[in-house]
């Protein structure tokens, strides 16, 4: 896969030291704890981790879409130099669906069942570009054509239940592209789809983001997807970024035992047949009851004393081809 | 769509037939009979007179024959004559039905315009003081019978402020303002009584809908909270609420019977009440036939609205 040239000037999106906590019956649970992420214009960054690692919460906090029980404790989310966490509701609404748009995991439930597809796709165009309904619907038809939905004109008047899961995700992509955003956040966009449809949707997303020059924050737990579609990768574990690097460097020289474990647990077609599939021993940690040191320590094969007492910081890694390669591990200095 | 309508209208026939059978039978089971009442009033008591009156009113035939006679008349639009006034039941209904319809419609409007805004407010401000106030209000409305409130409204203002609600009926088309002044008090009492359940249902459904993924999608587009709630959420939340409103139609009619009595509204409720007291069988049958048709039509209307609100059940 060819990579788009990354803009070397100021980053498009910079998340600095973001912490998000949820009030729950069991007390305050910190779902994201001091996360740092940088995304340049036109770049595709994959945010990888198990369920509950905080990747979706990170994504939702960018657009301020967290629920009422969530609170951003500290940190900054700079988008084109502007801190999204400091914006008032109105200003944030001006960015949502306009300069940053989002695609969700569940195409079956992410579209409103009682509104026409045309209306739902045209809505952001009308809202952010001040078009009339007929103009916005014309554009919506063009967008449906771009995401390869046949008979787009006729489809405008139909409802979500007339569409299959893959087609609905195409509609979601059309909606996300409507105002030519600078950044598209895709939160596990293919997890709910058939395997054959998954590849089509990701190809489409990749092609369209390249054509429009939008950056893509791709949230996934699928390392196969990462290798094919992302230029940079950030690995999340228990609310913290544990490693970030270019996709090439991460696969070639992983610098965190969790990343190594993740890669070893991907089944391979080229490897020895009937080889035992490796798994990471133990369970993902309970966010309400994290160990004092490195959250991965209880499951880590290379754990030593330091790991159990001190949280490792995300630092430049050595022995790698990528000079921006960072990892948070006492064992890989 | 037309086939659906025709099918639904045809389905009304067996339902109405069955309902009329029950009403006809049940009336004859009420203790006391119209002849006794008439003879007591007119001070005649010979068996000869009794037979003559029965024959004159057509009550000498067996009940099933009376039923078939009545049904035959009803099919041709003749609902018989009142046993007491000897006026055609149809013309009595024609005079009273519009009045009760107006009262019911006003009550429904009051109910919806109270229940929907408060229900929505209560849902989007869940667990705030406003929400608690709204929910307490609806609980009170649910618990307090409307005839009691009706009586209070009649009695207390006249004691405290020497004011009582107007009790003189003026037809709407003669003087709309005077008419509304009279009808509004019972309509508000009746409307508030049924608004409680609607409000609770609206609140529950809005809470449910606001948690859905498509609401997050709507917010992610940058839509204002007003559009998210009123366009994206409300229409989904209304689907069960509309069903509920349809099911409340019998409550409206039942409530009208009582409130028409208290506020002296010469509607169908008052007609029915008098007819029951006097065992005026043709009038009772006529009123029930009309309310039966009304309730069934309201249910049909609800089903049509349902299809309009929810494209998934739209009839082809």
Domain B97-313 sits in CATH 1.10.3720.10: yes
The pLDDT of residue A175: 94
φ and ψ at residue B47, rounded to 5 degrees = -65, -30
- Give the pair of three-digit tokens for residue A189: 């966009």
The pLDDT of residue A3: 46
Distance from CA of A132 to the nearest CA of B (A): 16
The pLDDT of residue B15: 85
Three-state SS at B12: helix
Burial class (CB in 10 A: 0-12, 13-18, 19+), A60: buried
The stretch B200-223 carries a mean pLDDT of 94
Chain A contact probe: residue of B211, B217, B231 with most A CBs at under 10 A: B217
Of B222, B232, B309, the CB nearest to A112: B232
- Give the residue on B whose Cα is nearest the Cα of A62: B220
Contacts (Cβ under 8 Å, ≥6 apart) of B80: B70, B73, B88, B89, B282, B285, B286
Could you tell me if A164 lies within 8 Å of chain B, comparing CB atoms?
no
Host H or E run for residue B104? helix B89-124
Could you tell me if A323 lies within 8 Å of chain B, comparing CB atoms?
no
pLDDT 10s digits, A119-174: 999 999 999 999 999 999 999 999 999 898 999 999 999 999 999 988 999 999 99
Interface ipTM: 0.88
A241-258 core/surface letters (b: 16 or more CB in 10 A; e: else):
bbbbbbbbbbeebbbbbb
* Contacts with B310 from chain A: Cβ below 8 Å: 113-114
Rounded Cα–Cα distance for residues A137 and A151 (Å): 14
Three-state SS at A156: coil
The pLDDT of residue B165: 74
Q: Is A148 left (phi over 0), alpha (psi -120 to 50) or beta?
A: left
* % of chain A residues with pLDDT over 90: 59
The structure's pTM equals 0.82
Could you tell me if A62 lies within 8 Å of chain B, comparing CB atoms?
no
Could you tell me if A65 lies within 8 Å of chain B, comparing CB atoms?
yes
The stretch B209-225 carries a mean pLDDT of 94
Chain B contact probe: residue of A56, A123, A187 with most B CBs at under 10 A: A123
Cβ(A92)–Cβ(B215) below 8 Å: no
């Amino acid at each position: 896969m060819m990579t788009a040239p990354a803009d070397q000037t100021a980053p498009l999106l910079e998340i600095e030291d973001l912490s998000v906590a949820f009030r729950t019956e069991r007390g305050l649970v910190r779902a994201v704890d001091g996360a740092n992420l940088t995304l340049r214009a036109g770049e595709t960054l994959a945010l990888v981790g198990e369920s509950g690692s905080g990747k979706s919460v990170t994504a939702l906090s960018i657009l301020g879409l967290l629920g009422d029980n969530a609170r951003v404790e500290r940190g900054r989310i700079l988008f084109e130099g502007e801190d999204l966490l400091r914006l008032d509701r109105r200003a944030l609404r001006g960015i949502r669906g306009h300069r940053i748009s989002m695609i969700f995991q569940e195409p079956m439930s992410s579209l409103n069942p009682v509104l026409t597809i045309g209306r739902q796709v045209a809505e952001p165009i009308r809202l952010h570009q001040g078009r009339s309904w007929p103009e916005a619907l014309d554009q919506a038809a063009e967008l449906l054509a771009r995401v390869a939905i046949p008979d787009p004109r006729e489809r405008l008047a139909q409802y979500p239940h007339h569409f299959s899961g893959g087609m609905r995700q195409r509609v979601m992509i059309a909606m996300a592209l409507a105002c030519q955003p600078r950044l598209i956040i895709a939160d596990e966009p293919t997890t709910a789809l058939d395997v054959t449809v998954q590849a089509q949707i990701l190809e489409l997303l990749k092609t369209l983001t390249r054509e429009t020059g939008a950056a893509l924050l791709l949230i996934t737990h699928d390392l196969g997807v990462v290798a094919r579609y992302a230029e940079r990768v950030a690995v999340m574990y228990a609310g913290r970024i544990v490693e970030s690097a270019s996709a090439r460097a991460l696969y070639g020289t992983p610098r965190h035992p969790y990343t190594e474990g993740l890669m070893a647990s991907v089944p391979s077609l080229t490897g020895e047949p009937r080889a035992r599939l490796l798994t990471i021993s133990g369970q993902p940690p309970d966010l309400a009851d994290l160990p004092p040191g490195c959250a991965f320590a209880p499951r880590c094969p290379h754990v030593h004393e330091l790991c159990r007492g001190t949280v490792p910081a995300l630092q430049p890694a050595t022995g790698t081809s990528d000079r921006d390669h960072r990892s948070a591990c006492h064992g890989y200095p | 769509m037309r086939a659906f309508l025709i099918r639904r209208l045809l389905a009304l026939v067996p339902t109405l037939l069955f309902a009329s059978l029950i009403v006809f039978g049940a009336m004859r089971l009420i203790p006391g009979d119209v002849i006794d009442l008439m003879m007591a009033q007119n001070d005649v008591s010979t068996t000869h007179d009794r037979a003559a009156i029965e024959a004159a009113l057509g009550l000498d035939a067996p009940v099933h024959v009376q039923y078939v006679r009545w049904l035959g008349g009803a099919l041709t639009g003749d609902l018989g004559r009142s046993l007491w006034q000897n006026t055609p039941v149809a013309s009595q209904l024609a005079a009273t039905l519009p009045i009760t319809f107006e009262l019911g419609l006003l009550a429904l409007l009051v109910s919806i315009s109270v229940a929907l805004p408060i229900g929505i407010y209560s849902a989007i401000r869940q667990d705030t003081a406003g929400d608690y106030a709204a929910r307490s209000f609806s609980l009170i409305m649910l618990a307090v019978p409307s005839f009691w409130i009706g009586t209070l409204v009649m009695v207390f203002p006249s004691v405290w402020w020497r004011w009582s609600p107007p009790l003189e009926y003026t037809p709407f088309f003669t003087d709309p303002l005077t008419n509304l002044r009279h009808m509004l008090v019972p309509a508000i009492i009746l409307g508030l009584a049924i608004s409680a359940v609607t409000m609770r249902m609206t609140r529950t459904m809005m809470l449910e809908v606001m948690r859905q993924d498509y609401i997050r999608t709507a917010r992610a587009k940058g839509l204002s909270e007003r559009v998210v709630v009123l366009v994206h959420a409300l229409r989904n939340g209304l689907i069960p609420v509309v069903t509920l409103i349809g099911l409340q139609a019998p409550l409206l009619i039942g409530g009208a019977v009582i409130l028409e009595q208290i506020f002296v509204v010469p509607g169908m409720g008052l007609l029915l009440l008098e007819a029951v007291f006097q065992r005026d069988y043709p009038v009772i049958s006529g009123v029930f036939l009309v309310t039966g048709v009304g309730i069934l039509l309201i249910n049909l209307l609800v089903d049509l609205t349902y299809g309009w609100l929810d494209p998934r059940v739209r009839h082809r």
